[in-house]
Structure 1
Amino acid sequence: MTETTNLASKVLLLEHDPAQFQCLLDFCDEMGLVAMPRSAVDAVATLGQHKDLGGVLLAEDLPCDSGDSWSLAATIHKMRPELPIFLRRTSQRPLTESEQLNVQHHWPTGGLDELRASVSRSIFSLRYPAALVEGVVSLTTTAMRSMFPHAHVQAEAPYVVHDRIIFGQVSTLIPLESTWCRGYMMLQTEEHALRQGLVQGFGYEGVGGDLNFRELNHLLGETTNLIWGAFKNRYIPPEAFAAQQTQVPIVINHEHKYISFGSQDPQLCVRYQLSDPRRPGLPPLTIVQRLIFNLHWSPEQFAEFAAAAPDAGSTGELELF
């Protein structure tokens, strides 16, 4: 088994008891979770602001202005059913059928071993080889610097998400297929921010901000294609592909900016910030990259491939769709 990297994941922390709050903060640090403490009043608004969460930690006796924590759990589950909710039980009563549907992970106060097992089983159900994560960030950064030569490209720390909400208005999707994986890569960004970045001169000379949405789509598509070409050169052996050829429907709901790949597995996510070194005060362009290995994922086979394959870098050649 190859060395796996400890990726973070953001969780919404809804806890009112001071002792339990500190206990859960320590637990999050131990598990690699980035806790976002909120009150019951702020919970729904926070879900609207953050589209890249890994789960929710909720106390059963959390004070709520309207209803109780169970009604809040039902609201969260209805808004984002893909997010696992970890409920700290403070009572002994059996759960109803509807409560069990809304909260599939619950643990008794003080039962951190049970919580740890649930978090590992759900949020961190897939482990990513460190060499793969570092390689993807490196080749993606190189490709973005090639497509946006006048921008400063900075990658944030990779993390895993369970959310299926699309960031921004412009998205690309391209298959990834090797002996050790089958899935997709997405790039997502905001249309106005991409156009503003070109106005600032991120791209090649002569490529300004007077672009229609089709040209912006094409630009992000070429960026995706360049990353995919580098990924193929480095990680896909030319003589073999994954044996599994199953497919699942990809569901896209444009009104709710929601996309599902038919899997509850976490997704590898990296946010890239493109800024203007000449004008550091201007807001950066954010491009979000997601890797979804929903059809086949074998880090053990990746380790064997990485050990045997030569280090092939990106050729810089643009593959055509």
Structure 2
Amino acid sequence: MADQTFLAAKVLLLEHDPVQYPRLLEFCESLGLVSVPCAAADAMDALAQHKDLAGVLLAEDLPCDAPDSLKLAIALHRQRPELPIFLRRTSARPLNADESRAVTHPWASEDIGTLRAHIDHSLFGLRYPTVLVNGILDLSLNALRSMFPNAEVEAEPPYVVHDRIIYGQVSTLIALESTWCRGYMMLQTEEGALRQGMAQGMGYEGVGGDLGFRELNNLLGETTNLIWGAFKNRYIPPQAFATQQTQVPIVINHEQKYISFGSQDPQLCIRYQLTDPRRPRQRPLIIVQRFIFNLLFEAEAFTEFAQPAATATTGELELF
């Protein structure tokens, strides 16, 4: 894995073995994986709580209400079929059709190299160059601090996700197109938290009070447009036109808070925390940013494009 490649992800860890558990924790840390350990009884609740996962690490002999964890694997797959399940096999019995559909990445306990290959291929199918992630952080933080001048804005470490669950109730979507990428950027947040943050004065002087949902929509839309403009100025040359003009349907299920861009590639995700320095105990406003390059992404072409600006000052990327 090259130093110029950004890698980080969050995985659900369902493991109980006293030897394998610390081994997998160390393995996850070495790859930049943030593990979320939980027991079998809490797996579905953890799945509902964490809407930004990249995959599931599951032990076949995990203590469950069944002889093994395959029924749990099927339940997890039915709930979030976009999440790859990496099953640590502890038996030699063949998997049936339902189990095989749920578990696409089995590996033997003694063969962690196979797990490494599965994760490298599935979780990190797209390589996001560090200089690109640095630049996105830099321009996004500048835009958010401009739109919310009275808030302290910090970014959590970026990561990749396979989940397609929408965060909050307010989302924006804007297209991105260059010679090296085609896709979308999303901003997502909770309507109530955004309204409260504006009422407390995080925005410009005189902007706040009892804002309706239209005003809040416009506010997030203006923030999205500001980030897009900075992205366009930095990464999209005036003569840039992608040669591949294919399109895929975007599927949105409002009841399930689910959105699909027709691609299984991992998405780049960054969470921003906006806090009021005058109210340190107040819950922060979270704005989630996703980059979905579902139509075209060529890291090599971006590297060539970014070479002249390689010495430019960018924000620092803090890896796990």
Structure 1 residue 31, shift from structure 2 partner: 1.4
1:41 aligns with 2:58: no
Contact 1:60 1:70 in 2 (8 A): yes
TM-score, normalization by structure 2: 0.95
How many Å separate the matches in 1 of 2:240 and 2:223? Answer: 26
1:186 aligns with 2:186: yes
Partner amino acid for 1:267? Q
How many Å separate the matches in 2 of 1:308 and 1:8? Answer: 27
The secondary structure found in structure 2 opposite 1:225 is helix
Residue aligning to 2:198:
198
Q: Which runs of no fewer than 5 residues in structure 2 stay unpaired? A: 314-320
Structure 1 residue 312, shift from structure 2 partner: 9.2
How many Å separate the matches in 2 of 1:166 and 1:311? Answer: 36
Residue aligning to 1:31:
31
How many Å separate the matches in 1 of 2:69 and 2:130? Answer: 38
Compared CA separation, residues 239 and 115, structure 1 to 2 (3 A): same
Contact 1:174 1:185 in 2 (8 A): yes
The secondary structure found in structure 1 opposite 2:141 is helix
How many Å separate the matches in 1 of 2:131 and 2:98? Answer: 43
How many Å separate the matches in 1 of 2:48 and 2:285? Answer: 20
Compared CA separation, residues 2 and 234, structure 1 to 2 (3 A): farther
- 1:164-187 CA-to-partner distances (Å, cap 9, x unmatched) read 000000000000101100000000
Structure 1 residue 3, shift from structure 2 partner: 5.3
Partner amino acid for 2:181? C
Residue aligning to 2:141:
141
Structure 1 residue 281, shift from structure 2 partner: 1.2
Contact 2:170 2:217 in 1 (8 A): yes
Residue aligning to 2:126:
126
Structure 1 residue 278, shift from structure 2 partner: 1.6
Contact 2:7 2:31 in 1 (8 A): no
How many Å separate the matches in 2 of 1:180 and 1:21? Answer: 40
Residue aligning to 1:305:
305
Residue aligning to 2:151:
151
- 1:53-72 CA-to-partner distances (Å, cap 9, x unmatched) read 01000011111135641110
Compared CA separation, residues 89 and 312, structure 1 to 2 (3 A): closer
Contact 1:16 1:59 in 2 (8 A): yes
- 1:235-293 CA-to-partner distances (Å, cap 9, x unmatched) read 00001211111100000000000000000000000000000112211111000000011
Structure 1 residue 218, shift from structure 2 partner: 0.5
Computed over aligned residues only, the root mean square deviation of the Cα atoms, in angstroms, reads 1.7
How many Å separate the matches in 2 of 1:175 and 1:94? Answer: 45
Contact 2:10 2:33 in 1 (8 A): yes
The secondary structure found in structure 2 opposite 1:18 is coil
Contact 2:6 2:129 in 1 (8 A): no
Contact 2:59 2:69 in 1 (8 A): yes
Residue aligning to 2:225:
225
The secondary structure found in structure 1 opposite 2:106 is strand
Residue aligning to 1:239:
239
1:53 aligns with 2:63: no
Compared CA separation, residues 215 and 254, structure 1 to 2 (3 A): same
Residue aligning to 2:74:
74
Runs of 4+ in 1 over 2 A off after TM superposition: 1-7, 65-68, 308-313
The secondary structure found in structure 2 opposite 1:44 is helix
Residue aligning to 1:319:
none
Contact 1:6 1:32 in 2 (8 A): no
Partner amino acid for 2:220? L
**What is the aligned length?**
313
How many Å separate the matches in 2 of 1:3 and 1:278? Answer: 40
Residue aligning to 2:86:
86
